[in-house]
Amino acid sequence: MASNLLKNIIKLDTRVSVSQNVCLPIRCLSTASPRVKDKTGKNIVFVDGVRTPFLLSGTDYAPLMPHQLAKEALIGLMRKTNVPREVVDYIVYGTVIQEVKTSNIGREAALAAGFPHSVPAHTVTMACISSNQGITTGIGLIAAGAYDVIVAGGVEFMSDVPIRHSRKMRSLLLRANKAKTPLDKLKLLSTFRPNFLLPELPAVAEFSSGETMGFSADRLAASFKVSREEQDQYAVRSHTMAKEAQDKGYLTDIVPFRLPNSSKVIEKDNGIRVSPIDKLAKLKAAFVKPHGTVTAANSSFLTDGASACLIMTEEKAKQLGLKPKLYLRDFTYVAQDPIDQLLLGPTYATPKVLEKAGLSVKDIDVWEVHEAFAGQILANLKAMDSDWFAQKYMNRQSKVGVPDLSKWNNWGGSLSIGHPFAATGVRLTVHTANRLVREDGQFGLIAACAAGGQGVGMIVERHPDATAL
C-alpha cells in the first residue's frame, strides 16, 4: 500500500545507472516503436535543452535583470546545438512575475542574444508550467505548418520583483498628471493620505482563494495523512540524488554563466544541500503555525534561472545534421479545484496523457515530476494509489497506479535543484531525455502542478540518436 511505497521512495540504492556511451541495441531500436502514434504527421523532436545554473534568489544573479539570464540561455542553446540563429522561425518564452520594462521578455531576450530582428517572439505565462506551455505551443505551431524550427524556454528572477505604489497612490499620480492648473494640483494634494505610501507587493497568495501555496500544501499533506517525517525524508532524498547527479557530471544541461563586469563564472546550482534528517526535524513550520508540517527544508525555494530548448520536425533535424534527444509524443493540460486540489495536477494529468498515448504506468521508464513541496509529491503518490480518490474525484473506476519509484526523479528535483517558475518545464524535459539514455529507457513522463489548480502531463520517447551530453 501507499505507506510501504513511501518507505521505498527514500531508498537511495535502487537506481540503475548506465554509462553515457552504453546503448543496448535492442532498446535503441525500440525507440522507433509504432506503439505511440505520431498524431502530427511530422515526428516533432526535442533536439536539446539548456539552462543557466539555478541559484537561490538574492545570491550571485541579484544585480542582473531577467532578460540577461534569458539571453544567456538562448545563446547557450545555439552554441550547444551549433544551429545558426537565422534557422529559428519563432520563439515562445515563459515568465511568471514579469519585469515591467521587458513585458515581452521573449522578444527582448532574443534581440539581446543576437537573433535576427525578423524572428518573432512572444511570452507565455502559466505559472510553474510556463515553459511546458512554451514547448507545447511550439508543437502546435509546427503541427499547423506555420513554422519548422521553434525555440522555447522560460525565465524567473525572484531577486528583484516589481513593487508598486498602492492603488490609491497610483490613482493620485495619474490624476495629477492630467491636472492643468495649480489649483487643480492643490485640490488633488489635499486628498493625499500617508497610507497611500504603503507599497503593494506581488501576491504570494492564490487570487481565487487568498491562500498561499504553502498553506495549501500543508492542508493537502494533512488530508492525505502525509507525516512531517515522510516529507523530510523525501527532501533528503531529493538533495542526495541531486548532489550525486551533480558530482557525477550528469547535469549536462547547465551552461556556465559569466557574471557581467566580473571574472566570476557560475557553473553549478547552489541550492543543493544534503543535510541530516535530524537537522531538518528541528525546523519550525513555515506556513501553518505552529503545528504545520511544511517547512523551509521540505519546500522548493525562491530561485533565479533561465532555460531554453530547440524543437523541430525530425526531417528538419536530419537536414541540419542534428541528433535529437526525444520525440515529443503527447501532452495534456488539466485543471481542478484550486482550493482543496491546488497541487494535484500530476495525479489528474498522468492517466489522461497515458491514455492518449496508449501507454500504462508500467510503460514509463523515466518519471520527472515537479517538486513544489515534499508534501505535494507524497500526496500525489497517495492519490494515485487510491481507488476511493479515483472514483470520487476523477470519474475513474480504479486508481491511476503508483510509478516505479526507482525511476522517479533520480537526479533530484525542484526541492534541491531549484525552481525558477517559468524555467522548470524545460529542465524537466532535458533531464528526462538524458536520463532515458543513461538509464536505457524508452518512454518518459513529465508532470507538474501549477498555481490556479492547473497541471501538465507530457509523454516523450527517446530518439535513436540521443546522447546524454
How far, in Å, CA of 19 to CA of 212, rounded? 42
What secondary structure letter does DSSP report for 155? E
Query: Which residues are CB-neighbours of 392 under 8 A, at least 6 positions away?
Result: none
309 is catalytic: no
In the predicted model, residues of the chain with pLDDT beneath 70 are 1-34, 203-204
Q: What pLDDT score does 48 carry?
A: 98
How far, in Å, CA of 249 to CA of 235, rounded? 21
Q: Pick from 177, 154, 106, 82: which is nearest to 428 by CA?
A: 154
Q: What pLDDT score does 8 carry?
A: 54
How far, in Å, CA of 222 to CA of 224, rounded? 5
Task: Dump pLDDT digits (tens) for 352-401.
Answer: 999 999 999 999 999 999 999 999 999 999 999 999 999 999 999 999 99
What secondary structure letter does DSSP report for 92? E
Return the sign of the alpha-carbon dihedral for residues 276, 446, 57, 217: negative
Q: What pLDDT score does 164 carry?
A: 85
Task: Dump pLDDT digits (tens) for 66-117.
Answer: 999 999 999 999 999 999 999 999 999 999 999 989 999 999 999 999 999 9
- Which listed residue (23, 28, 128, 309) is catalytic? 128
How far, in Å, CA of 350 to CA of 360, rounded? 10
| Sequence-distant contacts of 172-181: CB under 8 A, at least 24 apart | 172/196
Q: What pLDDT score does 4 carry?
A: 54
User: How many residues can be counted in the chain?
Assistant: 469
Give the global pTM.
0.91
Other Cβ atoms closer than 10 A to 180: 7
User: 99 phi and psi, to 5 degrees?
Assistant: -80, 120
Q: What pLDDT score does 297 carry?
A: 97
Q: Are 257 and 266 in contact (CB under 8 A)?
A: yes
Q: For the chain, how long is the longest CA-to-CA vector? A: 85
- Which listed residue (23, 28, 309, 449) is catalytic? 449
How far, in Å, CA of 158 to CA of 135, rounded? 23
Q: What pLDDT score does 7 carry?
A: 58
How far, in Å, CA of 48 to CA of 346, rounded? 24
Return the sign of the alpha-carbon dihedral for residues 400, 406, 410, 413: positive
Query: Which residues are CB-neighbours of 324 under 8 A, at least 6 positions away?
Result: 45, 46, 47, 48, 314, 317, 463, 465, 466
How far, in Å, CA of 370 to CA of 439, rounded? 20
Tell me which residue has cell 528583484. 160
Q: Pick from 316, 324, 315, 346: which is nearest to 460 by CA?
A: 324
128 is catalytic: yes
